[in-house]
Amino acid sequence: MISVLVVNLYQLQVVAHKDYQTRSKDNRTRVIPTAPNRGLIFDRNGILIAENRPAFSLQMIPEKVKDSAVALDNLAELMELDAEHIEELKERLKRHRRFKPLTVISQLDEAQVALFSVNQHRFTGFSVEAGLKRHYPYAEELTHLLGYVGRINARDTQNLELADKMGQYAATNDIGKLGIERYYEDQLHGIPGYRKEEVNNRGRIIQTIEEQAPVAGDDLYLSVDLKLQESAIELLDGRRGAVVAIDPKDGGILAMVSSPSYDPNQFVHGISGPAYRELLNSLDRPLINRATQGQYAPASTVKPHLGLAGLEHEIITENTKIWDPGWWQIPGVERRYRDWKKWGHGWVDLHHSVAESCDTYFYDLAYKMGIDKISQFMLPFGFGESTGIDIHEEYYGILPSRDWKRIKYNQPWYIGDTISIGIGQGYWTATPLQMAQSVAIIANRGERIPPHLLKESRQGDEVTEYEVEPLPPIELKDEANWDIIAKSMYLTAHRLNGSGYNLFKDSPYKAAVKSGTGQVFGIAEDAKYKAEEVDERLRDNALFVGYAPYEDPKIVVAVIVENAGWGAANAGPVAKAVMDAYLLDPNTGELK
């Protein structure tokens, strides 16, 4: 027995000495991570658009609570909490680590803090914690580009573990969920610090042994102009639609509006089930970013691009004319494809057809060119693919082709499909951002600069500018074709019969524009479209694109107003007013 005792003593004091010494030190010391302050976000003029505000939250440590379910029920009665919220907390407890704090209420007002403090003796393991919470002072005005932060959930935890980043979020409850907040999460989050403390056997702090301060996240400055953003929102006036404005010189997004929107602050503190379902089930689809996820028939806004393709493939020249009686037919086929102008435009050349949006001219051009040449030519303009914008919420739209239709529908491509593509209808869909980008390429004479929201980031006094990597430019056989098609867009705004003439005839600057009216559903060949007899959500979409000034482009604008009808009359005034707000001095009305 003595021999056994001696052997055990040797094992404990010699062989396992280091192990037990380490465990002993761990028992008397603890390391507490400290969360970094999230980086702030500003617009291009230094206006704060995402900040951190002091906030109080109620947290619990499950292992210190005798009966969590009972405690939560008692808390719900005291604080008058929603029953659905309590049930959600009970479900989260099942997969939550018992030694980690769980946020029960993310935002407490002063009355709630006082009420809990008086009754805290009844809730062992619960505590009120002070910290900083994200706040968006301009609420729904910037939701679709800023996004928001929200509580780290099971999926976020899994992603962080896969990326081996859990340690960076030891003291953090929130993570970027959408928009800029999600895309630049690594820069905004910062680096956590820690505090090493010595404690006695009762857990009381004796002294702080070591402390390392956290490093705040980078502050981001966006290319967005808040005043221009607010102007665009006011101009849409609550209608469903989108506005995108780009600086063609560097690709910076000046404004990006999706209407209707929603308040992101409710997601920061945990949106209630009923409130989220209301947003999710709304027919107006406020959760969708129409600027980057709305997929619309580009309609006549792509006629300049199709005209440029016709010039490039030498199918037409600047002076090629056709007779427009108000309709067009495929040779040998009875069906007539109607022009929007019932009695036709008469003899029209390229400039007339773009300025007056003659459908017949582009039916004929599409027929002669064919879908293969159209698809191949349009791809470099950004249709059917990502624009490269620095948010994840983007749809690619559809640039139709023979292969696409075969894969999608297992059907061959028909000539009639091509005719519809000739006026930007049929299978062709694009986002407002893609439309704006394609016009920026025309304004830049083939130079392709990906659009972006970030202008620069700052860490203390260190400034890092966003580096734009231009894509290979579009090179034409004849570079003069850029000027020809730009002239067509110029005449659209400044020719007497141009669809944008009434908007720009008295403008102090020259512009190059194109309107469009996109069908939402097809009608029979001989049927007549009457907006007043059609369900409001099935009426035509109004579109308008353009850039200004014509000689030295500084802004490209794309506007869509859903189910509003004629593009020049309903989307055009919005685009013109956005250009005015950016280019003109509000006091003198002259160019800045």
Task: Count Cβ atoms within 10 A of the Cβ of residue 388 and give its class: 0-12 exposed, 13-18 middle, 19 or more buried.
Answer: middle
Distances (CA, A) of 5 to 1, 9, 438, 563: 6, 6, 85, 89
Q: Are residues 463 and 533 in the same domain?
A: yes
* Contacts (Cβ under 8 Å, ≥6 apart) of 349: 318, 319, 320, 321
CATH number at residue 311: 3.40.710.10
Annotated binding site for Zn(2+): 324, 339, 345, 358
From the list 119, 117, 89, the residue with the least C-alpha distance to 104 is 89
Hey, what are 474's tokens? 């579009």
Domain assignment of residue 270, yes or no: no
Q: Are residues 135 and 240 in the same domain?
A: no
Residue 381 has pLDDT above 90, yes or no: yes
pLDDT at 143: 96
CB atoms within 10 A of CB 89: 21
Higher pLDDT, 34 or 356: 356
* Contacts (Cβ under 8 Å, ≥6 apart) of 9: none
DSSP secondary structure code for residue 509 in this structure: S
Q: Are residues 47 and 169 in the same domain?
A: yes
DSSP secondary structure code for residue 120 in this structure: G
Q: Are residues 414 and 429 in the same domain?
A: yes
Domain assignment of residue 269, yes or no: no
Q: Are residues 99 and 179 in the same domain?
A: yes
Q: Are residues 186 and 310 in the same domain?
A: no
Q: Are residues 93 and 189 in the same domain?
A: yes
Query: Cα–Cα distance between 57 and 128 in angstroms, integer?
Result: 6
3-state secondary structure at position 63: helix
Alpha carbon 331 to its chain centroid, in Å, reads: 45
CB atoms within 10 A of CB 198: 15
Q: Are residues 169 and 150 in the same domain?
A: yes
Q: Name the residues annotated as catalytic.
A: 300
pLDDT at 28: 65
Predicted confidence (pLDDT) per residue in 62-120, tens digit: 888 888 888 888 888 888 887 888 888 888 888 777 777 788 887 888 888 899 889 98
Query: Cα–Cα distance between 279 and 276 in angstroms, integer?
Result: 5
Residue 582 has pLDDT above 90, yes or no: yes
Range of the domain at 174: 29-222
Q: What is the CA radius of gyration of the chain?
A: 31
pLDDT at 524: 47
Considering 164, 190, 222, which residue would you say is the last residue of a domain?
222
Of 157-161, 180-184, 194-198, 296-300, give the lowest mean pLDDT range: 194-198
CATH number at residue 161: 3.90.1310.10
Hey, what are 174's tokens? 């929130």
Beta bridge partners of 329: 336
Domain assignment of residue 517, yes or no: yes
Query: Cα–Cα distance between 568 and 587 in angstroms, integer?
Result: 27
Considering 222, 240, 271, which residue would you say is the last residue of a domain?
222
Q: Are residues 392 and 486 in the same domain?
A: yes
Annotated binding site: 324, 339, 345, 358
DSSP secondary structure code for residue 12 in this structure: I
Predicted confidence (pLDDT) per residue in 404-431, tens digit: 999 999 999 999 999 999 999 999 999 9
Q: Are residues 234 and 216 in the same domain?
A: no
Q: Are residues 419 and 557 in the same domain?
A: yes
Residue 537 has pLDDT above 80, yes or no: no
pLDDT at 24: 56
Task: Count Cβ atoms within 10 A of the Cβ of residue 38 and give its class: 0-12 exposed, 13-18 middle, 19 or more buried.
Answer: buried
Mutual orientation of helices 303-312 and 371-378 as an angle, nearest 10°? Answer: 110
CB atoms within 10 A of CB 545: 31
CB 547 within 8 A of CB 555: yes
Q: Are residues 365 and 468 in the same domain?
A: yes
Considering 190, 207, 222, which residue would you say is the last residue of a domain?
222
Number of domains in the chain: 2
Domain assignment of residue 283, yes or no: no
Q: What element of type H or E holds 208? A: strand 205-212
Predicted confidence (pLDDT) per residue in 265-288, tens digit: 999 988 888 899 999 999 999 999
Residue 523 has pLDDT above 60, yes or no: no
**Which residues of 124-188 form beta strands (DSSP E)?**
126-135, 149-151, 174-176
Half-sphere exposure of 373 (CA within 13 A, CB side): 18
* Torsion on CA atoms 397, 399, 405, 409, rounded to nearest 10: 10
Domain assignment of residue 275, yes or no: no
**Percent of all residues in the chain with a pLDDT value above 90, rounded to a whole number:** 62
Query: Cα–Cα distance between 277 and 282 in angstroms, integer?
Result: 8
